[in-house]
Structure 1
Amino acid sequence: MDGPSGSGKSSASRGVARALGLRYLDTGAMYRAITWWMIEQGVDLGDAATIAARSHEPVLTSGTDPDGPTIHVDGVDVGEPIRGSEVTAAVSVVAAVPEVRARLVAMQREIIGSGDIVVEGRDIGTVVAPAATVKVYLTASAEARAQRRTAELTGTTVEAQQAAMATRDTLDSTRKTDPLSMAVGAVELDTTALNLEEVIAAVLGLIKERT
């Protein structure tokens, strides 16, 4: 399941995985985790060469339980700090470094293994698992996405979130390596007017149809 920020990927993916008794992987958390590590190490995020050179150092461990997904870096639970504003503002820059993507894509494919998993991100259907049985591209209006993200955070506004998302969308969709785009064979689902239960039901229906 791919799509931009605020489209509902995380909640929908977890709901689908829970309904089908499958594993769940949030690939975005992996990019956030490595970004958090770079910040903690004092790496200059404007120096792509240094990010690339050090991208192999942190040990990442991703849990795949949809009821309680976890992400650890060097044995430390970073599930909360990776959602902070500093990491959010920097993750697209770190994620654009080819060496970072190569390492994490390899890890993601290893976790996916033979399948039976719901995976969310920005390049799953195009790069990580192009042979997936079902590929979904979630989207929503810019205002709806900003409203959802604002409801999840404190100390922000819809206008601020909409501006931040516009910047991140541009970075994610124009990067040279694995840009955000809808995969061939993916079904686009606009979630603007849908609640979470409706999105989950739509994806489950698609899975039943395709499998």
Structure 2
Amino acid sequence: MMESLLIAIDGPSGSGKSTTSRLLAAKLGLGYLDTGAMYRAATAGVLAEDVDDDGVADYVRGADLRIVTSSDGNTLTINGRDVTAEIREPRISAAVSRVATNLEVREILTSRMRRIIDEHGRRIVVEGRDITTVVAPDADVRVLLIADPDARVARREAELAGKADREAVQDQVLRRDRDDSTVSNFTDAAEGVTVIDSTFLTPDEVVARIEGLFPRHG
């Protein structure tokens, strides 16, 4: 067993980050952190407590945000309220960029993400928008996972299973990427980051390609 195996995976919505990351974590016995879920949980709290834009950063700074980093999926609570299911609702997807593009919020949550990584002894798969460049640029494996926009929208439609029409899904996927790209670059790979196009790959094939990037010892 390698002492450290920190895997950082970035990419746009619908590129397969979550599925790939959970599969890797389960296969390798690693922790799994969905950083996007942290922004969604913060958004759920902001909406529930009717926090205005000027108060968002202070709210997130003071919030008791807890996350269970299981490879089966992350469980999240904010100020004692379980929001695990709620954060996948279309209304959260429609509002999350309001929180995720706040630079103070990003600094606050980035610090929390790094603490979680350290608590796992750097044996964890972390996925999001700027993991390879900001949160964990020193990760053992750094991947930018991409896919064709049509494929990404289709995947999100299947995930939502009729909870939103195609126009709403396109807005969630493409508009959110556009908004988030103003504060994070997840379309171009930084130096040392491997690009994997998942458009025509199965999740298992993506996992196999990432495993091929693992550092070799001895």
- Any gaps of 5 or more consecutive residues in structure 2? 1-8
Does 1:92 find its partner at 2:100? no
Q: CA deviation at 1:54?
A: 2.0
Q: CA deviation at 1:179?
A: 4.1
Does 1:18 find its partner at 2:21? no
Q: CA deviation at 1:210?
A: 8.9
**Which residue of 172, 180, 187 corresponds with 2:180?**
172
Q: Write the deviation string for residues 76-109 of structure 1: whole angstroms up to 9, x where unpaired.
A: 2211001111110111121111121111101000
Q: Do the aligned residues in 2 keep the contact of 1:126 with 1:184 (CA within 8 Å)?
A: no
SS of equivalent residue, structure 2 residue 63? coil
Q: CA deviation at 1:68?
A: 4.0
Distance 2:214 2:65 in 1: 30
TM-score (norm 1): 0.91
In structure 1, what is the equivalent of residue 204 of structure 2?
197
Superposed structure 1 runs of 4+ greater than 6 Å apart? none
**Which residue of 103, 111, 115 corresponds with 2:116?**
111
In structure 1, what is the equivalent of residue 213 of structure 2?
206
Distance 2:95 2:168 in 1: 16
Q: Do the aligned residues in 2 keep the contact of 1:56 with 1:103 (CA within 8 Å)?
A: yes
Root-mean-square deviation (Å):
1.8
Distance 2:82 2:163 in 1: 24
Q: Write the deviation string for residues 58-88 of structure 1: whole angstroms up to 9, x where unpaired.
A: 2111111102421111222211001111110
Distance 1:180 1:109 in 2: 19
Equivalent residue runs for 1:1-211 within 5 Å: 1-44=9-52, 47=53, 49-113=54-118, 114-153=121-160, 154-175=162-183, 178-181=184-187, 182-207=189-214
Letter in 1 for 2:186: L
Distance 1:155 1:78 in 2: 18
Q: CA deviation at 1:190?
A: 0.3
Q: Do the aligned residues in 1 keep the contact of 2:22 with 2:73 (CA within 8 Å)?
A: no
What is the aligned length?
A: 206
Distance 2:27 2:33 in 1: 15
Distance 2:73 2:34 in 1: 11
Letter in 1 for 2:16: G
Distance 2:204 2:166 in 1: 23
TM-score (norm 2): 0.88
Q: CA deviation at 1:156?
A: 3.0
Q: CA deviation at 1:159?
A: 4.7
More strand by share: 2
Q: Quick one: percent identity of the two aligned structures?
A: 47
Distance 2:163 2:80 in 1: 30
Q: Write the deviation string for residues 165-196 of structure 1: whole angstroms up to 9, x where unpaired.
A: 22111111123xx4435332110000000111
